[in-house]
Structure 1
Amino acid sequence: MLAQRATQQALRRFAQRSVISQAAAKNLAAPLSLTSQIQTRPVATQKHLTPADSYKILVEQRRLRPISPHLSIYRPQITCVAGGWVRGVADRGAGCDEAVLLGAVYVPCL
């Protein structure tokens, strides 16, 4: 236990920086961090638009914008087409099963 504690303290001391190395690291890292954060980008400019010109641009954009899709552009899925038929058959089958089971329980009681 004593050896483990001594090793742990030695590693902690080794991991700590001295005051001199901390000051040197701050002085070195500060200019590097400032220059890496500066970005320059070209600025796009455009002329001032009148309300009439901006409305013309808006109308042109709306004209080129696609309208909402109609259902005819989608290919019908087999599950969609057959689903209604299968459900109807299943409902009728379940109804017949229920009638038979209730009849089997009810008829002997007569």
Structure 2
Amino acid sequence: MFSQKVAQQSLRRLAVQQPTLMQSAMMRASPAAIAIGNTQKRLATSSPNTEDPNQILAKQRLNRPVSPHLGIYRPQVGWIMSSLHRISGISLSGPLYLWATAYLASPLFGWHLESASMVAAFGALPVAAKILIKTILALPFTYHSMNGIRHLTWDLGIGFTNPTIIKTGWTVVGLSVTSALALAFM
């Protein structure tokens, strides 16, 4: 409150004493500086710069230090697993949305995506192809599920030490591969 009164009084004093300079002073100085009488003035440069501002900026960018990227860091289990968790989530949800849309649109286009025709088509495949397809479908699902449990324990505040993160990371990899193969051979 007191600072507002000081600022108002200094602006009024300036308006009465020098009405022509009031607008330029208000744009350049703070009210406290006007109250003290300490307004600074910037002198114009003697030679105007005729160089293109974009060229000046390009030259300045060349002198800036370059920030290091992921190439300087040693790969660690934590950030690789976190990246794969996001990738597996996208790789699971994308085809699910596409298949659900195709399933809903199949009567309109005459496609046969009902369960009986899909079971018959999958049953006609060789055993090696069935195992390969089931492994490809099960691996992202089991990995995302196991790593999701790991992330939920982190949300509870459990397991944030580096040795625990490394152990649980490799445990998730082992469990997801084992469970994916178990699902594939069922």
TM-score (norm 1): 0.37
**Structure 2 length as normaliser, TM-score?**
0.26
Q: Which has the higher contact order (CA 8 A, sep 6+)?
A: 2
